[in-house]
Structure 1
Amino acid sequence: MLEDEFGREVTGVRVSLTDRCNFDCVYCHNEGLGDTRGPMDPQDDELGTDAVVRFLEVAHDFGVGAVKFTGGEPMLRDDLEAIVRRTPDDMAVSMTTNGTFLPGRAEGLVDAGLDRVNVSQDALDAEAFAELTQSGAYDRVLEGVEAALDAGLAPVKLNMVVFEPTAGYVPGMVDHVAENDGLQLQLIEYMPELAGHPEWAVDIQRVHDWLEAQADHVETRAMHDRKRYFVSSEAAARAENGTVAAADGGGDAAGLGMVEIVDPVGNADFCANCHRVRLTHDGYLKGCLNRNDDLVAIGETKASMREAFRTTVAERVPYYGEYMIEEDGEWTFNEAYRDSEGDRTPYEYSKDD
């Protein structure tokens, strides 16, 4: 297992299979690459089935035990089931999707070896959902969640980005997972450095405080110092006016929903415990979601992929607290990581390596 100079072993990989998506979410950062969405047809720069599998075999050889398939929308890949089936047997396989293609395919993905699924769902109202995603697929997403549950993928984790347009929907989403067995909620802190619109950012601590007030009990995961709040449906429903700032005490209803917050900004433990690298849809490894100046081309052979993996891990830097440092309440670039020629260009390996 490879370890970077900060003592972090790389135990997982995120593999973006495409940057195509049938949604146009207003907060999309496309795995940190920016808004590169385009035609729905397969693109020439997407890694082929064999290349993805070859990379996973290399990662497995380095002791990586988990892969998460992402996009864009990974289910736009017709070969997704084949990729999942050919993933090394003892690697845990998960996927993040918008859920619209799960009806009719969830069972086949489970048969191929899919273990878990995250479904992006930012609202419980079709009109609000359409405004956020620029799609009219709300009912299809709900069908996708049900298809995942029916296929045995429980718990299905719903991903919700928390920013100004969605903050008022948090109590309803918490109530939703409390009332429905098999669902969990993952609230994701909005990062304007990736998606722009800094005016949309909210103080994520407010959400923590609100959940703490509602929770029947709270657990803390050592990794990332991430809290899990177990909230009854009645407690969540007592939030006045549907805002995260207005609720009072807890509740004692039987149903409990598990809610977790992903909050990397200002959470020193988050980057310090990051144990994954990312593969872009077009064949570059990156050591951090927030960075694109550390891209390393994987090439086509296992030899070039191994070298790219080693290079990526060796040059990993925690984004918050190392690559970006906080000065006078502001995050600024650490000049120690700027090379002598200014911005770095991606490493390139010959296709024949």
Structure 2
Amino acid sequence: MLVDQFGREVTGVRVSLTDRCNFDCVYCHNEGLGDTRGPMEPQDNEMATDDVVRFLEVAREFDVDAVKFTGGEPMLRDDLAEIIERAPAGMETSLTTNGTYLPGQAEELVAAGLDRVNVSQDALDPEAFKQVTQSGEYEAVIEGVDAALDAGLDPVKLNMVVFEATAGYVPEMVDHVAANDGLQLQLIEYMPELAGRPDWAVDIERVHGWLEEQAHTVEHREMHDRRRYWIDEKRGEQSDDGAKGTGDGGMVEVVDPVENAEFCANCHRVRVTHEGYLKGCLNRNDDLRSMGEMTKPEIRETFREVVANRVPYYGEYMMKDDDGEWSINEEYIGV
């Protein structure tokens, strides 16, 4: 297993299969690359099937045990099932999708070996959903979640980006996952450093505080220093003995990387762009490294180099000055 200079083992990879997408979400940062999207037809610059599989085989050589396929919308790839089927033994495969293509493909993907799925769903209100995603596919997403559950992808984790336009829908979404077996909720802090519009950001600590009031159990995860909240249908209600709720309920997890040095100190992922570049940090594009013709020796060399040069974004690459403001640590400029 490869370990960077800060003692962080690389146990997972996040592979973008395309930058094409049938949605146009207002907060999208395209895996930190910005708006690179072009025509919806397959592009020559996307990694070929064999390239993706070859990379995964090398990653497995380094004891990477999990891959998450992303985009863009990864289900626009016609070879997605083949890629999943050819993933190395012992490597968990998961997918982040907007869900619109799951009704026709979920069973095939499970048969190919898909283990888990995250579905982006930012509101339960169709009009609010349309404003955020610039898409009228609300019902298709709902059907996609049902199709994933029917295919055995349980639990299905719903991804909700929390910012000015969606924050008011958090309680409704929490109730939704608490009332429906098989659903979990991942609240993702809006990242203005990638998506712009800092005025859209909300105080994520207020979200944490509210969730703690509703939860009957709070769990701490080492990965990214995340907190999980277990909330049932009777959220916030106390019994005679002071306990909140009556059952296991739904799980709500908060992903809060912004200005969070603890989050970065616990990051164990390396990312791959749809064009075949490795990057050690979501927030940086000055650390992109090409894997060349993507032969196994080239992939191994680049993988080692990227891991060796990984730097926690907050707390090291970005440092707080005496006034409490974040500024780039010059030691890492140009690295």
- The alignment's TM-score, normalised by the length of structure 1, stands at 0.91
The residue aligned with 1:148 is 148
The residue aligned with 2:179 is 179
Partner amino acid, structure 2, of 1:183: L
Shift in alpha-carbon separation, 1:197–1:97, aligned structure 2, 3 A: same
The alignment status of 1:313 with 2:298, answered yes or no, reads no
Equivalent in 291, 307, 320 of residue 298 of structure 1: 291
The residue aligned with 2:196 is 196
After superposing the two structures, state which structure 1 stretch, 253-262 or 129-138, moved more: 253-262
Deviations 1:28-54 (A, max 9, x none): 000000011221100110000000001
- Following superposition, the deviation at residue 255 of structure 1 comes to 6.7
Q: CA RMSD in A?
A: 1.6
CA contact (8 A) 2:213 2:236 kept: no
Three-state SS of the structure 2 residue aligned to 1:234 is coil
**Equivalences for residues 271-282 of structure 1 within 5 A:** 271-282=264-275
The alignment status of 1:331 with 2:322, answered yes or no, reads no
Deviations 1:88-115 (A, max 9, x none): 0110000100000000110110010100
The residue aligned with 1:257 is 250
Three-state SS of the structure 2 residue aligned to 1:161 is strand
The residue aligned with 1:4 is 4
- Following superposition, the deviation at residue 235 of structure 1 comes to 2.4
Whole-Å separation in 2 of the counterparts to 1:109 and 1:306:
28
Number of corresponding residues: 330
Whole-Å separation in 1 of the counterparts to 2:236 and 2:254:
16
- Following superposition, the deviation at residue 233 of structure 1 comes to 2.4
Deviations 1:46-103 (A, max 9, x none): 0000000011111111111110000000000000000000000110000100000000
Where structure 2 has 5 or more consecutive residues not aligned to the other structure, the ranges are none
The residue aligned with 1:242 is none
After superposing the two structures, state which structure 1 stretch, 279-288 or 297-306, moved more: 297-306
The residue aligned with 1:266 is 259
Whole-Å separation in 1 of the counterparts to 2:326 and 2:163:
19
Three-state SS of the structure 1 residue aligned to 2:47 is coil
The alignment status of 1:31 with 2:39, answered yes or no, reads no
Whole-Å separation in 1 of the counterparts to 2:73 and 2:271:
16
Partner amino acid, structure 1, of 2:311: V
**Equivalences for residues 13-24 of structure 1 within 5 A:** 13-24=13-24
Three-state SS of the structure 1 residue aligned to 2:316 is coil
The residue aligned with 1:322 is 316
CA contact (8 A) 1:106 1:148 kept: yes
Whole-Å separation in 2 of the counterparts to 1:254 and 1:8:
36
Three-state SS of the structure 2 residue aligned to 1:184 is strand
Deviations 1:121-147 (A, max 9, x none): 000011110000000000000000000
After superposing the two structures, state which structure 1 stretch, 213-222 or 19-28, moved more: 213-222
Give me the identity figure in percent.
74
- Following superposition, the deviation at residue 330 of structure 1 comes to 2.0
- Following superposition, the deviation at residue 224 of structure 1 comes to 2.4
Whole-Å separation in 2 of the counterparts to 1:124 and 1:251:
25
Whole-Å separation in 2 of the counterparts to 1:317 and 1:276:
12
CA contact (8 A) 1:100 1:144 kept: yes
The residue aligned with 1:243 is none
CA contact (8 A) 2:261 2:312 kept: no
After superposing the two structures, state which structure 1 stretch, 15-24 or 259-268, moved more: 259-268
**Equivalences for residues 1-353 of structure 1 within 5 A:** 1-235=1-235, 251-252=244-245, 254=247, 256-300=249-293, 301-327=295-321, 328-339=323-334
CA contact (8 A) 1:53 1:83 kept: yes
Whole-Å separation in 1 of the counterparts to 2:66 and 2:52:
14
- Following superposition, the deviation at residue 221 of structure 1 comes to 1.3
- The alignment's TM-score, normalised by the length of structure 2, stands at 0.95
CA contact (8 A) 1:179 1:255 kept: no
Three-state SS of the structure 2 residue aligned to 1:233 is coil
- Following superposition, the deviation at residue 299 of structure 1 comes to 1.7
Deviations 1:199-218 (A, max 9, x none): 00111000000001111121
Deviations 1:159-193 (A, max 9, x none): 00011111100000000000000000000011100
CA contact (8 A) 1:58 1:305 kept: yes
Three-state SS of the structure 1 residue aligned to 2:100 is coil
Whole-Å separation in 2 of the counterparts to 1:40 and 1:223:
35
Where structure 1 has 5 or more consecutive residues not aligned to the other structure, the ranges are 238-248, 345-353
CA contact (8 A) 2:232 2:248 kept: yes
